[in-house]
Structure 1
Amino acid sequence: MKPFFFRRVTLALFALVAAACLAACQREPQPDWRLNDVSGHLPDLDFHLVDDHGKAVTGADYKGKVAVLYFGYTHCPDVCPLTLTHLHVVLDRMGPAADKVRILFVSVDPKRDTPAVMHDYVTAFDKRAVGLSGTDGELETLAKRYRSAFTREPDRGDGQYDVSHSSAIYVFDAQGKARLLATPSASQDDIVHDLALLTSLEKTP
């Protein structure tokens, strides 16, 4: 694991957040977000991947839903299952409004995370979660797009290995615009508040 490298990535992301907050002071009043507002400072939701049914999908396929994107992998021993559990509780607390939200879990381990494996994994946490994967090149491009990072550790000799990865949670509105950034340590109350506010502001196509 390389915690120093991933701390640097996280610091870079939140430096971006600080700049976004400063810029927000010069714009019209924004909603009372509790998470970090990155509106206009990260790119729109855009990718070409494969979902957990083996279907080719793009970011446009999720327009009309608030998308919560997270990079991880199914063999992750700690932060991934904790984050998905966290998000499941958040959506349950939202009630019917959660139907306007989709969790997009992007695998950084396509060698082991086949569509079938991804489907079993994500749906065990929440029926509104979608597993996404792609080629190494597609995943690297997507990670760079959102200033994320991941590194696969050497195989331990039995086909098992760890993947170090950033843990930011990205929230996109129903038009695919990047709106909010959080970490897995963000409180459930704050995530519920902001997702509920975002879904209430959106008119789905």
Structure 2
Amino acid sequence: MSWRLASRLSVVTLAIVVVILITVLQHNQTTRSQSSSSGSPANTASGLQGTDLNGTPAPNFQLTDQYGKTISLAQFRGKPVIVTFLYTHCPDVCPLTAEHLHTTLQQLGSDAKNVAILAVSTDPRRDDTAAAMQFSTEHNMQNYWHFLTGTQKQLSPVWSIYSIYAQQQQQQVNHSTALYLIDKKGNERVYMDDSFQPAQMAANLKLLLKEN
């Protein structure tokens, strides 16, 4: 074999190897992209979607809702409960969460009345009953959830027991985004973040509604 032929064969072989490597890398990148874009949380052993909370008893709390009524988590024993943390002046995530929860209830149909939603304020300085009612009305949730407000002293312990960070930053509040799903017996079942889709939440609630 002449050195020219050997050289040409080496170039061709190298080119083939490069093409194969590029194809493999592109396939892996596409697979990762599809996986991350799906956004589907993992299923627990019971079929619930989200981060498994192992059935830990949910800490009770008591605050005031948009109607000025005193509301406690414990009074909803016998119903699945969503506990989330929002504030009425939020420009982005909180309104979207409210809209997604409204859509969730629509997807549940007649079962919606058997579910409770508690939205705990992360902005004690500005969130009062009037602000809570206005926000609830804007998102068609005034009759479907309890938007709970209170003083800093009343709200801080609730944030703490649910591992929520809330810090005023000028006109906005930096806070954790969390939705805790609690079963009929008052146990924490799964955690979901603000990326949840109404269909996922509705499916979880239907499973919890079927439990004794």
How would you bin the TM-score normalised by the shorter chain?
Answer: 0.7 to 0.9
Please, what is the CA RMSD of the aligned residues? 2.1
- Render the CA deviation track for 1:146-179: whole Å, top value 9, x for unaligned: 111110113xxxxxx1111100111111222111
**What is residue 58 of structure 1 aligned with on the other side?**
72
Residue 55 of structure 2 aligns to a residue in which SS? coil
Q: 2:191 aligns with which of 141, 163, 181?
A: 181
Kindly indicate whether residue 89 of structure 2 is the aligned counterpart of residue 75 of structure 1: yes
Report the structure, 1 or 2, having the larger helix content.
2
- Name stretches of at least 5 consecutive residues in structure 1 with no aligned partner: 1-17, 25-29, 155-160
- Render the CA deviation track for 1:178-197: whole Å, top value 9, x for unaligned: 11110111232221111111
Q: 1:173 to 1:45 in 2, by over 3 A?
A: farther
Preserved contact between residue 119 and residue 130 of structure 1 (Cα < 8 Å) = no
Aligned length: 170
Alpha-carbon distance, 1:80 to partner: 0.1
Q: 2:166 aligns with which of 125, 144, 150?
A: 150
Preserved contact between residue 171 and residue 179 of structure 1 (Cα < 8 Å) = yes
Distance in 1 between residues matched to 2:76 and 2:137, nearest whole Å: 17
**What is residue 34 of structure 1 aligned with on the other side?**
49
Q: 1:191 to 1:153 in 2, by over 3 A?
A: same
Residue 167 of structure 2 aligns to a residue in which SS? strand
Kindly indicate whether residue 157 of structure 2 is the aligned counterpart of residue 141 of structure 1: yes
Alpha-carbon distance, 1:45 to partner: 4.1
Q: How high is the TM-score relative to the length of structure 2?
A: 0.73
- Render the CA deviation track for 1:88-118: whole Å, top value 9, x for unaligned: 1111011111111122111111222111221
Percent of aligned pairs with the same residue? 34
Corresponding letter in the other structure for 2:113: D
**What is residue 132 of structure 1 aligned with on the other side?**
148
Q: Which has the higher contact order (CA 8 A, sep 6+)?
A: 1
- Render the CA deviation track for 1:40-98: whole Å, top value 9, x for unaligned: 34x41410211112122222222232211111100000000001101111110111111
**What is residue 27 of structure 2 aligned with on the other side?**
none
